[in-house]
Structure 1
Amino acid sequence: MKTDIEIAQEATALPISEIAEKAGLQAHEIEPYGYDKAKIKLDPKVARKQDLGKLILVTSINPTPAGEGKSTVTVGLADALSQAGHQTMIALREPSLGPVMGLKGGATGGGYSQVIPMADINLHFTGDFHALTSAHNTLAAALDNSIYQGNPLHIDPRRILWKRVLDINDRALRHTTIGLGGPTSGVPREDGFDITVASELMAILTLSTDLQDLKHRIEKIVLAYNYDKEPVTVADLGVAGALTVLLKDAIKPNLVQTLDHTPAIIHGGPFANIAQGTNSVQATKTALQLADYVVTEAGFGADLGGEKFMDIKVPRLGKAPDAVVVVATVRALKHHGGAALADLNQENLSALSAGLGNLGQNIKAMQRYGRPVLVAVNRFTADTDAEIKMVEDFVAGLGAQAFLADVWAQGGAGAADLAQAVVKTIDEAKADFVPLYQADDGALEKLQAIVQNIYGGAAVELSAKADKQLKDFAKHGWDKLPIVMAKTQYSLSDDPKKLGAPKDFTVHIREFVPKLGAGFLVALTGSILTMPGLPKHPAALDIDIDENGQITGLF
């Protein structure tokens, strides 16, 4: 059996100019980055057609080591729509080197449902993440330099929020001490690193509509507090212009293609367990202006990326999904039901029945928004007819339909029925979008709405620190901002060991991080970390390149 990278390397890509033309872009609207990728210069404020296209959001159950294949289904569904004669585009996030070199892997799909050039996209691509890392750390350097040069803003070194970032999993950098080495080496203080995708600049990039919006948002970033406990912003520091210059190309969406030559826009890459988990507003809006159907995905499961797409991105995008596809595998559901990883190839209706509750909660979470929901069962060869029927019957009981998707092996042909059902569902849908909470609800009300309606939990508990923070935020008018829940992806709860669909649980908020430029509050739960670590056997150990430049081991 060929690996993903072998399939991608054997593919024949069309020139990016042909993909641009297929998408409806003119030559002056793209900046080619070599043969098979380009930046898009299209102004998102300029309407290309009378109505925006239809938007399909692909999300999933809570991920497991057994695999779900959300990106693979996203690509396969888009190819199926294109093969059926619909003008289609994809909008995806960019992969981070953290999971690429770590545990999870990349984010370009798999098998015969991939976006290409797979290796480039998973590695340096067009340099967006490098630009973000440079801009973020330039801001950190300017902040420490201001303190060193007499501290004119009276910044309290004990109350600095802005860490440094690196786009790789490096647990050794979570907590650091800087400024050592004498008077010429800065002011000593505690510091630390986050992964680049957790940077507020990443969130800002994905929510900005143009360069000026980007700059204004950067100005609002709260970096620290002064000795009077008043916030210090980038505007106070005076470097918003320089940071915007560093991001002038990164803000432009990237155009690539699938193996079947469906145009794909890949832009932005915030994780959904520590950030908002969606591709950029510009990417999705551009695709909607060009295509009749746009297939997009949100990070991790419906409880994380799905919820944040609806509550964070939809208000900025100005359009809700016309349909939602929840991806599941029989294998993953059996694991949620207690089956060991080594036994997932054996029929186990008891474990499957126990694990279906996770799928059920994620379906109900998306139905809560008033959007029609379909289920894609990403098929594995060991799945039995009895297991598949159990899933289909369960989904039907929730007022939805389940469709087999064999896209890894068959590409778009393996999602033909799903694509046809998606189109029919969108055509027949009548319900309006129903927000989970109102903009003027307090932070605690928003938290409770997420925990009770999306996770199926009972309550929210704030630590003493988090409770005090909310009271302080109220003084600054920040207490009604939208919430980005930083939570484990493996469970509906904040405990990664509670698989399936736990009940009557409480989510514990240990602290908040205000992100005024992005326009939300991050609620840190449990032991969630914003700088992951590498596993015992990281993927980097298996990646190699030969004398001809041929890469191996990259999935």
Structure 2
Amino acid sequence: MSDIEIARAANKKPIQEIGAKLDIPNEHLLPFGHDKAKVSEEFIRSLSGKKNGHLVLVTAINPTPAGEGKTTTTVGLGDGLNAIGKKAAICIREASLGPCFGMKGGAAGGGYAQVVPMEEMNLHFTGDFHAITSAHNLLAAMLDNHIYWGNELDIDIRRVVYRRVLDMNDRALRQVVCSLGGVANGFPREAGFDITVASEVMAILCLATDLADLEKRLGDIIVAYRRDRTPVYARDIKADGAMTVLLQQAMQPNLVQTLENNPAFVHGGPFANIAHGCNSVVATTTALKLADYVVTEAGFGADLGAEKFMNIKCRKAGLKPEAVVIVATVRAMKMNGGVDKKDLGEENVSAVEKGCPNLGRHIENLRKFGVPSVVAINHFVTDTDAEVQAVKDFVASMGSEAILCKHWADGSKGSAELAKKVVQIVEGGTADYKPLYPDDMPLFEKMETIAKEIYRADEVLADAKIRNQLKEWENQGYGHLPVCMAKTQYSFTTDPTRRGAPTGHSLPIREVRLSAGAGFVVAVCGEIMTMPGLPRVPSAESICINEDGLIDGLF
């Protein structure tokens, strides 16, 4: 059966029963239908004195068209932990409409390791992304309105830095001119749109600890600069209160279930290539109070998602992960070894061996954070015993262990061995998490540290304008912030076609942006776009409602 057919055949339980597994009273679940609910802020506040469970991160090698299955493994591991008698919950991100209608597809796992309701999760879900889009654009509208009605704050309209957002891939909106059409429409200026998952409001929602923290962070957003170069904040525009109102419900994490009726929190959704790539702090910290094991994922490869999880999310939220699972596939190893996608079904042990250095680089990198890791080989039916053994042998040579996982086909039975290994690592108590760089390191040096230690670049290329901007932010008191690298997910370099584990490359930084509310500085590297475009043949062309009233083509 296909993923969507498996999801439709799911034996879902009422969401109140799923909440009961985590001791969440019915009155603290705000239901959206019968199979999803938000967890009340009041209940979350009541958990503050409880002890935390164990946090496990699932990450992956650099993604390839062959597929890796990071979310599938996250779900499978959560089910596997529950199956071996542990009280476990998973925490993943919400899906953006952009990739759903573009080319990536859904974000709910696959096979017999899925979160349901799959169609709703991949579409409007509980409306969180719409609320984020609305709150973000409310601030943009109030900013332009302030300028229109006399510009009391003396904003230099040439230095408006706040862009609008839309939860769709739409390259036509990357750079626009707004307020055309005469006096009644305001002062014409250049502007642009990012995708909602790149919005600073999205990052803020995912990093805020409660509504008060959310409002403060929203107020800290820098929207423009005056002629004297002093910043103008969202609170100066008096937008922070209304934005918080729009986000009040969205701040409450969403509870759903896996196919095996285990609890799953799905909340927040920043992309890892252009944003910080982790689900919300509120969802993760809530799950840690309610479960003994919490399995969460970070977007794309470990060079992006895991790095940002460790350097931004854990640093800011005081989280201490105790184990990391690195997802790899034989097919992806072969692609890294130079095999064309159409030939992946044929056995090619030498190509697997040639592609393994990409996996090895991620294993080495994660050691730098002080957290032990295990490799999960996400099984495909075309994998041969010799190819799987080649991956296991390589990982063993790196001083780690690789475990073959068949959760896609067998659910928790196929991930039980991985679950036991994760428990063994956690109970071994060897984790000693530490971020890669200290808070007081200069901003450009932080970018250099990530480029050299994680990407293995020889140098970072940035012109004087960018370096001076970073120094100016340091002088304004933002030098302590971590950095968020916006870079292609497909390679350690900024060239998406360079697979494997390349060295001898440079990292060009095209632009830097200060996300003062979220609490990080974004470095836009190479040709990465914060508003993606649709492919030549978008998935949307195949999505429809069939004669039975069911959605086809979504996954």
Measured against the shorter chain, the TM-score band is over 0.9
Structure-1 residue corresponding to 2:81: 81
Query: Residue 546 of structure 1: CA displacement?
Result: 2.6
Query: Residue 468 of structure 1: CA displacement?
Result: 2.3
In the superposition, relative to structure 1, how do residues 139 and 382 fare at CA in structure 2: closer, same or farther (>3 Å)?
Answer: same
1:274·1:530 contact (CA, 8 Å) conserved in 2? yes
- For the residue of structure 2 that corresponds to 1:235, the secondary structure is coil
In the superposition, relative to structure 1, how do residues 190 and 324 fare at CA in structure 2: closer, same or farther (>3 Å)?
Answer: same
2:315·2:435 contact (CA, 8 Å) conserved in 1? no
- For the residue of structure 2 that corresponds to 1:137, the secondary structure is helix
Amino acid at match of 1:12: N
Query: Residue 162 of structure 1: CA displacement?
Result: 0.7
**1:322-364: CA deviations, max 9, x gaps?**
1000000011111112111111111222222221111011111
- For the residue of structure 2 that corresponds to 1:71, the secondary structure is helix
1:108·1:118 contact (CA, 8 Å) conserved in 2? yes
**1:520-542: CA deviations, max 9, x gaps?**
00000001100000011111111
**TM superposition score normalised by structure 1:** 0.98
Query: Residue 85 of structure 1: CA displacement?
Result: 1.2
* Structure 1 segment 54-453 matched on structure 2, within 5 A: 54-453=54-453
Amino acid at match of 2:515: K
Amino acid at match of 2:452: Q
Query: Residue 466 of structure 1: CA displacement?
Result: 1.3
Query: Residue 455 of structure 1: CA displacement?
Result: 1.7
- For the residue of structure 2 that corresponds to 1:420, the secondary structure is helix
Structure-1 residue corresponding to 2:518: 518
Query: Residue 547 of structure 1: CA displacement?
Result: 4.4
Deviating more after overlay: 226-235 vs 426-435: 426-435
1:177·1:188 contact (CA, 8 Å) conserved in 2? yes
**1:392-414: CA deviations, max 9, x gaps?**
01111111110011111111111
Amino acid at match of 1:40: V
Percent identical pairs in the alignment equals: 55
User: Aligned equivalents of 1:449 and 1:56: distance in 2?
Assistant: 25
Structure-2 residue corresponding to 1:499: 499
User: Aligned equivalents of 1:60 and 1:463: distance in 2?
Assistant: 32
User: Aligned equivalents of 2:72 and 2:459: distance in 1?
Assistant: 35
- For the residue of structure 1 that corresponds to 2:250, the secondary structure is coil
User: Aligned equivalents of 2:108 and 2:317: distance in 1?
Assistant: 23
User: Aligned equivalents of 1:323 and 1:471: distance in 2?
Assistant: 36
User: Aligned equivalents of 1:388 and 1:261: distance in 2?
Assistant: 31
Deviating more after overlay: 512-521 vs 363-372: 363-372
Structure-1 residue corresponding to 2:14: 15
CA RMSD, 1 decimal: 1.2
Query: Residue 435 of structure 1: CA displacement?
Result: 1.9
User: Aligned equivalents of 1:226 and 1:38: distance in 2?
Assistant: 44
User: Aligned equivalents of 2:383 and 2:8: distance in 1?
Assistant: 29
Structure-2 residue corresponding to 1:30: 29
Query: Residue 49 of structure 1: CA displacement?
Result: 7.0
In the superposition, relative to structure 1, how do residues 104 and 467 fare at CA in structure 2: closer, same or farther (>3 Å)?
Answer: same
**1:42-64: CA deviations, max 9, x gaps?**
55444377521111100000001
1:223·1:234 contact (CA, 8 Å) conserved in 2? yes
- For the residue of structure 2 that corresponds to 1:255, the secondary structure is strand
User: Aligned equivalents of 1:126 and 1:100: distance in 2?
Assistant: 16
Amino acid at match of 1:101: F
Deviating more after overlay: 247-256 vs 23-32: 23-32
User: Aligned equivalents of 2:235 and 2:138: distance in 1?
Assistant: 15
1:44·1:209 contact (CA, 8 Å) conserved in 2? no
Structure 1 segments unaligned to the other structure (5+ residues):
none
User: Aligned equivalents of 2:50 and 2:160: distance in 1?
Assistant: 48
- For the residue of structure 2 that corresponds to 1:190, the secondary structure is strand
2:269·2:277 contact (CA, 8 Å) conserved in 1? yes
User: Aligned equivalents of 2:49 and 2:401: distance in 1?
Assistant: 32
1:195·1:531 contact (CA, 8 Å) conserved in 2? yes
User: Aligned equivalents of 1:445 and 1:466: distance in 2?
Assistant: 13
Query: Residue 447 of structure 1: CA displacement?
Result: 1.2
Deviating more after overlay: 494-503 vs 268-277: 494-503
Query: Residue 18 of structure 1: CA displacement?
Result: 0.6
Amino acid at match of 1:27: N
Amino acid at match of 1:544: C
Query: Residue 463 of structure 1: CA displacement?
Result: 2.4
**1:283-309: CA deviations, max 9, x gaps?**
000100000011100000100010000
1:48·1:290 contact (CA, 8 Å) conserved in 2? no
- For the residue of structure 2 that corresponds to 1:477, the secondary structure is helix
**1:413-464: CA deviations, max 9, x gaps?**
1111111111011111324112211111111221122112222222212123
1:463·1:511 contact (CA, 8 Å) conserved in 2? no
Query: Residue 471 of structure 1: CA displacement?
Result: 2.5
User: Aligned equivalents of 1:228 and 1:49: distance in 2?
Assistant: 47
- For the residue of structure 1 that corresponds to 2:235, the secondary structure is helix
User: Aligned equivalents of 1:218 and 1:268: distance in 2?
Assistant: 16
In the superposition, relative to structure 1, how do residues 215 and 49 fare at CA in structure 2: closer, same or farther (>3 Å)?
Answer: closer
Deviating more after overlay: 31-40 vs 456-465: 456-465
2:440·2:479 contact (CA, 8 Å) conserved in 1? no
1:377·1:403 contact (CA, 8 Å) conserved in 2? yes
User: Aligned equivalents of 1:64 and 1:342: distance in 2?
Assistant: 13
User: Aligned equivalents of 2:47 and 2:480: distance in 1?
Assistant: 32
- For the residue of structure 2 that corresponds to 1:232, the secondary structure is strand
**1:231-264: CA deviations, max 9, x gaps?**
1111111111010000010000000000000100
Structure 2 segments unaligned to the other structure (5+ residues):
none
Query: Residue 153 of structure 1: CA displacement?
Result: 1.1
- For the residue of structure 2 that corresponds to 1:151, the secondary structure is coil
Query: Residue 316 of structure 1: CA displacement?
Result: 2.6
1:44·1:285 contact (CA, 8 Å) conserved in 2? no
Deviating more after overlay: 455-464 vs 314-323: 455-464
Query: Residue 12 of structure 1: CA displacement?
Result: 1.8
Structure-1 residue corresponding to 2:40: 41
- For the residue of structure 1 that corresponds to 2:522, the secondary structure is strand
Query: Residue 156 of structure 1: CA displacement?
Result: 1.2
1:324·1:372 contact (CA, 8 Å) conserved in 2? yes
User: Aligned equivalents of 1:100 and 1:154: distance in 2?
Assistant: 42
1:372·1:429 contact (CA, 8 Å) conserved in 2? no
Structure-2 residue corresponding to 1:508: 508
Deviating more after overlay: 19-28 vs 425-434: 425-434
**1:160-198: CA deviations, max 9, x gaps?**
111111001000111111111111112111111100000
2:59·2:298 contact (CA, 8 Å) conserved in 1? yes
User: Aligned equivalents of 1:471 and 1:324: distance in 2?
Assistant: 35
User: Aligned equivalents of 1:228 and 1:327: distance in 2?
Assistant: 50
